[in-house]
Structure 1
């Protein structure tokens, strides 16, 4: 049986993943309004990934006999100074999520819940990838600046991203 503290942490994470989806949809709308359909696509795919993560955690809780607790989803930021600022927000957000995931992993180990630890390990690895990609995009946008030709190129590159359900 899963302990209450771990069940709460996983429920909080399930809700945080849904907030992440909401945040990335907001960022997608921001990029779309600026005319960057490829960047908007990248954020829309990111939102779908976050929904998949949240649903995966939700299902895990149910498998462990826990009723997930649903929380309010706060409104995300809707406007930014620049595309670079958006991706800096992405990096900060992903670092925050990494901290949350790491706390769950530590809690699972402390409670000797090896099933939960095995489950959350996938997210630990996923966050390494998420942060690396965000760092790469922050670096690219810092180099691009307001160069229209380079913005066009990265917009075209990010348009190619497609959602693949990881589960």
Structure 2
């Protein structure tokens, strides 16, 4: 049985991950409206990943005989003034999610909940990748975004991203 505080934080993380999916769907829609199908695709795939992260947290709680409580997911409150704004918003959001995961890990550590810590190890590694990807996108946009040909090629590169289900074994 999980410690109550650890279970509460894990349960909250389900909704945070679902919010992340909503945010990335909003960014995907923004780029669709700007006729950047590659950017749209990249964030659509990102939304799928975040949804899967929520499912992993849910399954972990269920596998540990904990109840899952789904809460309201607020619509993202965003307005973007240029093509770079969503990239910056995604970077800031990934840094926020990293802090959330670290807080859960810290709570598990305080309770000597090694099983949950091991489960969270995958998410800690994943967040490192998520932050690097977000940072790389910002940097690539800074390099190529002001040049129409460069933006076209970057959009084509992002359009090649395909969804891959997470490989975490529960």
Please tell me the TM-score bracket, short chain as reference: over 0.9
* Distance in 1, Cα, partners of 2:30 & 2:132: 23
Q: Does 1:89 align with 2:89?
A: yes
Please state whether the residue corresponding to 1:76 is helix, strand or coil.
coil
| Aligned-partner SS, 1:83 | coil
Given the alignment of the two structures, is residue 2 of structure 1 paired with residue 2 of structure 2, yes or no?
A: yes
Moved over 4 A (4+): none
Give the match for residue 112 of structure 2. Answer: 112
* Cα root mean square deviation, aligned: 1.0
The match for 1:165 is: 165
**Residue equivalent to 1:149:** 149
**Pairwise CA distance, 1:78:** 4.8
Aligned length: 167
TM-score where L is the length of structure 2: 0.95
SS for the counterpart of 2:84 is helix
Matched, 1:37 2:59: no
Unmatched 5+ residue regions in structure 1?
A: none
What is the deviation of 1:145? 3.6
Tell me the CA shift for residue 139 of structure 1. Answer: 1.0
CA contact (8 A) 1:30 1:78 kept: no
Q: Secondary structure at the match of 1:77?
A: coil
Distance in 1 of aligned mates of 2:26 and 2:61: 28
Unaligned stretches of 5+ in structure 2? none
For 2:78 and 2:136, the matched residues in 1 are separated by: 23
Give me the TM-score of the superposition, normalised by structure 1.
0.97
8 A Cα contact 1:109 1:117, kept in partner: yes
> 1:85 & 1:3 partners in 2: Cα distance?
40
